[in-house]
């Protein structure tokens, strides 16, 4: 065996939020840290990818943005064009970048064929050139019936059988099996590897935090990308408006994809509360989570990994639409003693009680940390992805 410079291409479709991009960024950093001659190229549609610092030998190509509306339709983020034309443009850019980069390994995040199949031709071309293909899935995708219908509609099954060498699940089977109840072809289970959760670490160097942190132990209230976080922010702010004198200081991070009008309203309300500091976005959320005494969050994959990585007591307020992913993850985590779940009554047409939110925030002070129930190896996902990748990168 001899070692040669290796290349990994990571695809992140990024039609909503920050989760896919931040997960791929963590993978790229772990892979390059483990092998000094490795280069990683991330293909992403995130409109704010340039706001993040990337490790040495990790770079990105940004394709035109697409956003998903609440009715499931996709529309261009910026370009005044039909969605079908933007998808065609994205597919052309992805293919040209991939063929020029000549990766040894391709890691595709969540969407086996890319958005609207935009990755299909590129995957076939790279497969013909000898690249290995891995599909990376978060621990929970959706409930089984909905996911099975979605994958059947998209014609995913042939790609999983014919194109992909392995399926990597960034979680633990004891927590959840995202493929349970899915119609899978023979042999796909044998291709599946559970890696454990992708731990997060404090960034080294980079720009300072944008957020001004409270000078006393504080609770972090975060929505992730923020595109669907209005409800959580409003509920928590109302709790501070009613019971602020009884609650610890709080930092609200609204999220860059929240509607500007909502951001302005929430920032104005926060400014009138002595115990509350608010900001829209910080590219180094790891630093903020590390400093927080507790977390109130919606429960997306990346926030969940940060809560476990930095061992923070947390209250998860999951959304249930359009996917039940967050609810399933929060319920399983609560059953294991890792977090406490506060269901959002508005998801079922009922009013939110600010006293219930205030009680949950107060409870963070006595809530056990996740480490009290964390199983050995549960956070070893990055190490396992490195190990799985090295089999195909050493030659």
- Residue 378 CA to residue 242 CA, distance in Å, equals 39
The confidence band for 108, taking pLDDT boundaries of 50, 70 and 90, is very high
- Fold identical between 6-199+380-393 and 219-372? yes
Structure confidence by residue, pLDDT tens digits, 129-186: 999 999 999 999 988 888 888 888 988 888 899 999 999 999 999 899 998 888 777 7
- Residue 343 CA to residue 357 CA, distance in Å, equals 10
What pLDDT is attached to residue 5? Answer: 86
Provide the β-strand partners of residue 138: 170
Structure confidence by residue, pLDDT tens digits, 39-60: 999 999 999 999 999 999 999 9
% of the chain residues with pLDDT over 90: 77
User: How far, in Å, are 139, 161, 167, 185 from residue 190 at the CA level?
Assistant: 18, 11, 9, 11
- Residue 362 CA to residue 367 CA, distance in Å, equals 9
What pLDDT is attached to residue 206? Answer: 55
Structure confidence by residue, pLDDT tens digits, 198-222: 999 998 765 555 667 888 999 999 9
What pLDDT is attached to residue 151? Answer: 87
Task: Please compute the mean of the pLDDT values over residues 318-334 and round it to a whole number.
Answer: 93
Closest to 34 (Cα-Cα) out of 55, 12, 60: 55
What pLDDT is attached to residue 290? Answer: 96
The domain defined by 6-199+380-393 folds into Rossmann fold (3.40.50)
Question: Rounded to the nearest 5°, which phi and psi values hold at 138?
Answer: -70, 170
Sketch the domain layout of the chain as residue ranges.
6-199+380-393, 219-372
User: How far, in Å, are 86, 137, 330, 381 from residue 301 at the CA level?
Assistant: 28, 11, 10, 13
Give the number of other CB atoms < 10 A from CB of residue 14: 28
Query: pTM of the full predicted structure?
Result: 0.93
What pLDDT is attached to residue 93? Answer: 97
The confidence band for 244, taking pLDDT boundaries of 50, 70 and 90, is very high
- Is the separation of the CB atoms in 66 and 115 below 8 Å? yes
The confidence band for 262, taking pLDDT boundaries of 50, 70 and 90, is very high
Please state, rounded to an integer, the average pLDDT across all residues of the chain.
92
The length of the chain in residues reads 395
Taking 90 as the threshold, does the pLDDT of residue 223 lie above it? yes
The domain defined by 219-372 folds into Rossmann fold (3.40.50)
Task: Please compute the mean of the pLDDT values over residues 93-112 and round it to a whole number.
Answer: 97
Closest to 314 (Cα-Cα) out of 390, 232, 387, 207: 232
């Amino acid at each position: 065996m001899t070692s040669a410079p290796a290349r990994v291409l990571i695809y992140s479709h990024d039609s909503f939020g920050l989760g896919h991009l931040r997960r791929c960024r963590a993978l790229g950093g772990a892979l390059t840290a483990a092998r000094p001659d490795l280069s990683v190229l991330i293909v992403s549609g995130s409109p704010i990818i340039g706001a993040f610092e990337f490790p040495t030998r990790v770079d990105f190509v940004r394709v035109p943005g697409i956003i998903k509306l609440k009715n499931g339709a996709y529309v261009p983020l910026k370009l005044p064009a039909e969605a079908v034309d933007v998808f065609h443009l994205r597919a052309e850019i992805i293919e040209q970048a991939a063929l020029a980069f000549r990766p040894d390994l391709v890691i595709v995040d969540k969407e086996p064929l890319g958005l609207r199949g935009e990755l299909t031709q590129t995957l076939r071309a790279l497969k013909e050139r000898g690249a290995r293909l891995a599909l990376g899935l978060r621990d929970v995708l959706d409930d089984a019936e909905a996911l099975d219908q979605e994958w059947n509609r998209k014609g995913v099954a042939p790609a999983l059988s014919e194109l992909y060498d392995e399926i990597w699940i960034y979680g633990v089977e004891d927590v959840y099996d995202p493929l349970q109840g899915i119609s899978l072809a023979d042999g796909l289970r044998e291709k599946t590897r559970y890696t454990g959760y992708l731990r997060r670490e404090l960034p080294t160097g980079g720009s300072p935090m944008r957020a001004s942190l409270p000078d006393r132990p504080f609770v972090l209230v975060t929505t992730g990308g923020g595109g669907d976080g209005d409800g959580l922010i409003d509920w928590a702010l109302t709790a501070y408006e009613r019971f602020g004198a009884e609650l610890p200081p709080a930092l609200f991070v609204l999220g860059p994809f929240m509607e500007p009008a909502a951001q302005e309203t929430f920032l104005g309300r926060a400014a009138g509360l002595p115990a509350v500091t608010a900001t829209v976005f910080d590219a180094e959320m790891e630093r903020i989570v590390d400093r927080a005494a507790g977390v109130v969050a919606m429960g997306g994959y990346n926030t969940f990994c940060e809560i476990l990585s930095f061992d923070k007591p947390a209250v998860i307020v999951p959304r249930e639409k359009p996917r039940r992913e967050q609810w399933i993850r929060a319920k399983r985590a609560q059953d294991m003693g890792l977090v406490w779940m506060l269901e959002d009554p508005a998801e079922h047409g009922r009013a939110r009680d600010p006293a219930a939110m205030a009680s949950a925030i107060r409870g963070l002070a006595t809530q056990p940390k996740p480490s009290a129930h964390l199983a050995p190896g549960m956070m070893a996902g990055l190490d396992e992805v490195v190990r799985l990748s090295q089999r195909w990168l050493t030659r």
